[in-house]
Every structure is written in C-alpha cells, then in structure tokens.
C-alpha cells in the first residue's frame, strides 16, 4: 500500500514568487492536513481538508491556502513568498475520524531566497 506522496521534494523560490505543493494521500483516506516545520517554530498545523471541504485552519496568514480534489489529492499554495516561509512542508493523511492514525509524507523542502 503506497504511502503519502508529496511533490516536489525540493524547491528553491525567490521572494515575492508563489509556490504550489502537491500531496497524494494513502488510498482510501479522505482527510489531508498540512504542517509547516521550521527550526524556530517547530511543527505547526496549517489546515485540514476532508472530502474537498476545509474543516480546520491554523493561525497562518491568508497567503497560505489549500484545496482538495474529488480524488482526495490536495495542493497547498503560498503566494508572495517571504524568507520566513523557508521550511519543510509536511502533508498527512488519515481516514478522517477521531482517533484515526495520521500518516505523514516525506515532505517538501522549500527554500526562499
């Protein structure tokens, strides 16, 4: 059974640009959530989608957005990139019910220069 797949794995962007990251959840999982990991702030929740609907959102500016498609694949977008957006972005999937195990992908390493 394939795990959570994230693309691209590594990318470098310039300040002011935008970036789109993609996530394919484990087959059959309908919940996809996104996290940002930085050395200073640790792991922080961005948002969670279930059946194409955003159910929960973290405390990030509106430049961070996401969506989920009918096949449960998800994308997150960051517009007007800032240096502080450099981070590892992790996608996680689960069946979506309380107590379900949440599985993480390998992450997308974003560097903003």
Binding site for other proteins (CB under 8 A): 4, 6, 31, 33, 35, 42-43, 45, 48, 50, 55-56, 58, 90, 92, 94, 96, 98-107
Alpha-carbon distances of 13 from 16, 20, 29, rounded to whole Å? 9, 11, 31
Output helix, strand, coil percentages for the chain, rounded to the nearest 5. Answer: 5, 55, 45
């Amino acid at each position: 059974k394939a795990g959570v797949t994230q693309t691209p794995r590594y990318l470098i962007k310039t300040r002011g640009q935008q970036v789109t990251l993609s996530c394919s959840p484990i087959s059959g999982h309908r919940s996809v959530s996104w996290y940002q990991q930085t050395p200073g702030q640790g792991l922080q929740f961005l948002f969670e989608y279930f059946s194409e609907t955003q159910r929960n959102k973290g405390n990030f500016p509106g430049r961070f957005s996401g969506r989920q498609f009918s096949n449960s694949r998800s994308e997150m977008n960051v517009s007007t990139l800032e240096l502080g957006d450099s981070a590892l972005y992790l996608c996680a999937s689960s069946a979506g019910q309380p107590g379900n195990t949440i599985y993480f992908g390998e992450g997308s390493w974003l560097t903003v220069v």
